């Protein structure tokens, strides 16, 4: 499923509601992930994360760096970045750099499709 972005380009980052929970999850968890308000917040976070990666171009960023640029919690950035990577909008550079926790974190960069999603046109 695709989600229209803020920039008018169809971004395949919307996860179907049934894929965001397990059958064994409590009903409150299921209600949370199927809530449209929460879905809008997640999509807004994905867009903010993509914009942060786009501003870094090919240099790549780790979750702490994106969190600082996008003003989103580092854990949320990690979760959304993983989704964006699976959608082909981000890719791993193979590097690991120090996070704000002093641990090493995955460095990702935006792909050509990610740039299209942010800019709304071919680069």
Q: pLDDT tens-digit profile of 47-68?
A: 999 999 999 877 899 999 999 9
The pLDDT, as a whole number, for residue 39 is 66
Chain centroid to Cα 95, Å, comes to 19
pTM for the model: 0.69
Instruction: Confirm if 89 and 110 have CB atoms less than 8 A apart.
Output: yes
Q: What is the dihedral of CA 111, 56, 51, 11, to 10 degrees?
A: 0
Q: pLDDT at position 110, please?
A: 93
Question: Residues 63-98: pLDDT tens digits?
Answer: 999 999 999 999 999 989 998 998 899 999 999 999
Q: What residue ranges do the domains of the chain occupy?
A: 3-119
The average confidence (pLDDT) of the chain is 79
Domain 3-119 indexed as CATH 1.10.10.10: yes
């Amino acid at each position: 499923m695709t989600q229209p972005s803020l920039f008018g380009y169809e971004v395949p980052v919307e996860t179907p509601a049934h894929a965001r929970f397990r059958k064994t999850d409590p009903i409150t968890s299921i209600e949370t992930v199927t809530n449209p308000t929460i879905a809008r917040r997640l999509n807004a976070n994905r867009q903010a994360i993509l914009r942060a990666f786009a501003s870094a171009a090919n240099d790549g960023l780790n979750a702490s760096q994106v969190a600082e640029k996008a003003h989103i919690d580092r854990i949320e950035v990690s979760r959304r970045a993983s989704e964006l990577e699976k959608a082909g909008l981000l890719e791993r550079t193979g590097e690991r750099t120090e996070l704000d926790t002093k641990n090493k974190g995955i460095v990702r960069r935006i792909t050509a499709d990610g740039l299209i999603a942010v800019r709304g046109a071919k680069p």
